[in-house]
Chain A
């Protein structure tokens, strides 16, 4: 359970999110226009940006948790992989998810390696194990990011625009994985992709004009979408299921 109390975020002295109080019981998809503050909210929850107010996870104030404790609680999957080390292999990349569990100065343990390898099998990308991450396609890279997050074994997984760089086919693969993960993790999804949000089928938080609007259901009705986005909708075309 994630509780936000009077959350306020600023960026370059501009208020992005204002006075948001909200309890996220379980899964949630966050939608909103460009620059509405969706990613800022996710970054605040994962402590990647500063905020005022309070964020509690399972009644613990996250500002009182150590970085390591936070890492075991939350993983954050960015939209696109940015990587300078152009020679890191898929296996090594997924192992990075085990970093919070690793002893200082030591190598990753056999257990860590086993978990990383199981994760690769689970996502059906074991054959890419020795490949170099930077040489993979965007879809495969997104799977590597998910594998790393799974190896991290955190309770909460935040996806930031997971399908932003993917074609419909790869979007579907990722979408199915995200939906599957809802069984074991609390999945927070940030997306512009209405098809994806509809398929994932979590309650919706729509961010508009610095504040958040919560929709338990009925979000995907044309009239509501039209009112929120200001363009007309004629039922969503692509169906993932």
Chain B
């Protein structure tokens, strides 16, 4: 019953979401092709809801994937420093004043993407010096990288002028605001590839969640499978963060919420986690637009404000059992 209510509420908000925002829309005008309402609805609101949905899906699935592969509840692309890498990349682009486009992609996005991917390669390279069981050390490496990136970003802030710093601050707060359909469609494609990859490897993932050695003993080339899934997921996260900036907490908490609702093996939680992540971010984004403030509240702040207390509740309720 709780499950049904949760899903219905999420779906309802998702469907209502495009109608909510700073400008209230006349229902009768939406289908009028020449009206401003039509443009706002179909070129801003609907793409934004879809972008939020696929962003949440990518974040939640990556969280589930990292937590399962590394058998650690704290592992996400974020705790490993991948998003900090993207932010630093974007920061460098802003500082260098690169406003130009490379092949139609904004310099900030391109540098953000490169920052994320370089971090992934760095982590993969460094992890070769660890034994396969030392996942805590990998987490520590990620945290160290994050702190290093943050300090590097502080230097950029320190030497930046007011306008550059304002751009950078807005990027670090995260935003799901997109114009038109190109970003939602790119992200949808990547999210779909991620979902299919994880789904095809669901039994490999189930075995890897037992242990690396057991997976190997059952005939899995653990290195190859792990690397493939990490690359697909990092590609998704890199793309997302380069467009939207970092959006914390979704990858960390959504897999835990779904596991709480459905205490079943990871193979049965993949699609549910993906959908829940998508809905969850749409709900958060609807909140940012629904609160009638001067300007929209950055999405990263909302996910952290909802996610933080909820996560503490989860940990406490788990510990008290």
Point out residues on A near B: beta carbons under 8 Å. Answer: 46-48, 66-72, 74-76, 78, 82-85, 87-89, 92-93, 96-97, 99-100, 102, 105, 108, 132, 152
Contact = CB atoms under 8 A, between A and B. Distances in A.
A82 B211 contact: yes
Interface of B: 68, 71-72, 200-201, 203, 206-207, 209-211, 213-214, 216-221, 259, 263-267
16 contacts: A48-B216, A67-B216, A67-B220, A69-B219, A70-B217, A71-B218, A71-B219, A74-B217, A85-B265, A87-B263, A87-B264, A87-B265, A87-B266, A88-B210, A99-B219, A132-B263
Given A87-B259, A89-B265, A92-B265, A70 B219 contact: yes
A173 to B, nearest CB: 23
B209 to A, nearest CB: 4
Contacts of A99: 203, 207, 218-220
A209 to B, nearest CB: 26
Nearest to B259: A87
A75 B214 CA distance: 9
Given A99-B203, A102-B203, A85 B210 contact: yes
Contacts of B219: 66-72, 99-100
A76 B265 CA distance: 23
Nearest to A152: B218
Contacts of B265: 85, 87-89, 92
Nearest to B268: A87
Contacts of B72: 84
Contacts of B216: 47-48, 67
B210 A84 contact: yes
A139 B210 CA distance: 18
A100 B209 contact: no
A96 B207 contact: yes
A48 B68 contact: no
B187 to A, nearest CB: 24
Contacts of B203: 96, 99, 102, 108
Contacts of B207: 96, 99
Contacts of B206: 85, 88, 92, 96
Contacts of A69: 219
A183 to B, nearest CB: 23
Contacts of B214: 78, 96
Contact of B217 (A48, A66, A84, A88): A48
Given A88-B265, A92-B265, A99-B203, A82 B210 contact: yes
Contacts of A87: 259, 263-266
Best-surrounded residue of B201, B206, B217, B219 (most CB of chain A within 10 A): B217
B217 A46 contact: yes
A89 B68 CA distance: 16
Given A84-B71, A85-B206, A85-B266, 10 more contacts: A48-B213, A67-B220, A67-B221, A71-B219, A74-B217, A84-B210, A87-B265, A88-B206, A99-B207, A99-B219
Best-surrounded residue of B71, B216, B259 (most CB of chain A within 10 A): B216
A69 B219 CA distance: 7
Nearest to A89: B265
Contacts of A93: 210
A84 B73 CA distance: 9
B131 to A, nearest CB: 10
Contacts of B201: 105
A84 B209 contact: yes
A15 to B, nearest CB: 19
Contacts of B263: 87, 132
B129 to A, nearest CB: 13
B217 A85 contact: no
B213 A96 contact: no
A67 B206 CA distance: 18
Contacts of B259: 87
Nearest to B196: A105
A152 B259 CA distance: 29
Nearest to A12: B131
Contacts of B71: 84
A168 B71 CA distance: 32
